[in-house]
Amino acid sequence: MDIHEYQAKEILASFGVPVPRGGLAYSPEQAGYRARELGGNAWVVKAQVHSGGRGAAGGVKLCRDEHEVASFASSLFGRQLVTKQTDANGKGVYRLWIEAASDIAQEIYLGFVLDRKSERIMIVASAQGGMEIEDLAETDPESLRRMTIDPAVGLTEFQARELAFQLGLKGGQIAQMVSILRACYRAYRDLDAVMVEINPLVITGSGDLVALDAKMSFDTNALFRRPQVAELRDRSQEDPRESTAGDHGLSYVGLTGDIGCIINGAGLAMATMDMIKLAGGEPANFLDIGGGASPERVVKAFQTVLADRNVGVVLVNIFAGINRCDWVAEGVVTAYRQLGLTIPVVVRLAGTNVEEGRRIIDQSGLPLISADTLAEAAAAAVASRPRQAA
């Protein structure tokens, strides 16, 4: 789960990370009021959306007076901000963060991520901040510094000092960096985060370190024990199909094709999408119904897949272990009748109670297409697409 910049800053500040003064605005008038409240003669207005690259997309601006703040805010509210990290629909702008402008002498990149290879938390840092990490890795890979943290020990002071030295910090800046690094690590560890990023972490004209921007992402599976984090969820920034699926315990990722997929198991889902591509089709989604799929759960999966109007055919591919093929078959038949389906549905069942599952499909009296293998199912799904989609 992602959160907004201002929310990430509030969390990091509570752990001891220095951040600029700022205020949230839900209207142009409130944006102007926030600028007056903060004081000074320059403010940065930032669109709060779950995406990077906001500045290049016109979602961030330095304003020199209150009228400019209100005017820019008015141009942002209700706008769909399209960045290089969003799809063509962009993300809706419904709140802004107004922040006092900072005197920037240097920008640093700082990120905490999970390194699955080493099974450790990894710090990635660079003295060349202000850029996306992908761009840094491509344009200046030598600037990247990496350090892994043993979770049994945590981030030690000597590790933090070593990284500060590698980034070229001096004097009191080293102690500040040590404090920031350890605060970020505690926030990552204590809140079940999967990513903490400060970009840029700036050195001001007076030599102080300040987090000018911040991002945090959290392990969705751990939200049940982090209610203070779960409360920060903003559904307006999520794909409504993915939100609805998540509410029903389904794993869903929307794609751009026209073949809807209902599958159990992430590995089988990936293999199914690959087979669809090999057969010349395009998957419309990744949907994993998980184990113990009841007929009701299968119906919910159909409703989720069919919410995408691009779907012209549905492929059900189940390898039953914990699941039972007869349960899935009952769900397919129920969904077809309840939802009044008119598009082709291809069903491939294997595993527990497969004979009974196939009998239910074959004797349903419905125009369901049965397949014995994944290759046959993918080929049948591609061949069954409406002509305009083929």
Question: What's the pLDDT at 389?
Answer: 47
Question: What's the pLDDT at 160?
Answer: 96
Angstrom distance (rounded) from CA 252 to CA 87: 16
Question: What's the pLDDT at 378?
Answer: 94
Question: What's the pLDDT at 298?
Answer: 86
Q: Is 221 annotated as a binding residue?
A: no
Q: In the beta sheet, which residues pair with residue 371?
A: 348
Q: Is 53 annotated as a binding residue?
A: yes
What sign does the dihedral 202-203-204-209 (CA atoms) show? Answer: positive
**Concatenated DSSP letters for 290-311?**
-SS--HHHHHHHHHHHHTSTT-
Confidence of residue 287 (pLDDT cuts 50, 70, 90): confident
Q: What is the pLDDT of residues 74-104, one digit of tens each?
A: 999 999 999 988 888 889 999 999 999 999 9
Q: At what angle do helices 66-76 and 28-38 cross, to 10 degrees?
A: 140
Asked if the model's pLDDT at residue 222 lies above 60, the reply is: yes
How deeply is 373 buried, as exposed, middle or buried, from its count of CB atoms within 10 A (0-12, 13-18, 19+)? exposed
Q: What is the pLDDT of residues 293-345, one digit of tens each?
A: 678 888 888 998 998 888 999 999 988 877 788 988 999 999 999 999 999 99
Asked if the model's pLDDT at residue 32 lies above 90, the reply is: yes
Q: Is 321 annotated as a binding residue?
A: no
Q: Is 213 annotated as a binding residue?
A: yes
Asked if the model's pLDDT at residue 37 lies above 90, the reply is: yes
Q: Is 34 annotated as a binding residue?
A: no
What sign does the dihedral 371-374-379-383 (CA atoms) show? Answer: positive
- Catalytic residue numbers? 109, 197
Task: Report pTM.
Answer: 0.78
Find the mean pLDDT for residues 116-133: 87
Q: Is 99 annotated as a binding residue?
A: yes
Question: Helix count (H) and strand count (E) of the chain?
Answer: 13, 18
Confidence of residue 238 (pLDDT cuts 50, 70, 90): confident
Q: Is 55 annotated as a binding residue?
A: yes
Q: What is the mean pLDDT of the chain?
A: 90
Asked if the model's pLDDT at residue 265 lies above 60, the reply is: yes
Question: What's the pLDDT at 27?
Answer: 95
Q: What is the pLDDT of residues 336-387, one digit of tens each?
A: 999 999 999 999 999 888 999 999 999 999 999 999 999 999 999 999 988 6
Beta-strand pair 345-351/313-320: parallel
Domains, the chain, ordered by start: 1-19+103-237 (3.30.470.20), 21-101 (3.30.1490.20), 239-384 (3.40.50.261)
Confidence of residue 68 (pLDDT cuts 50, 70, 90): very high
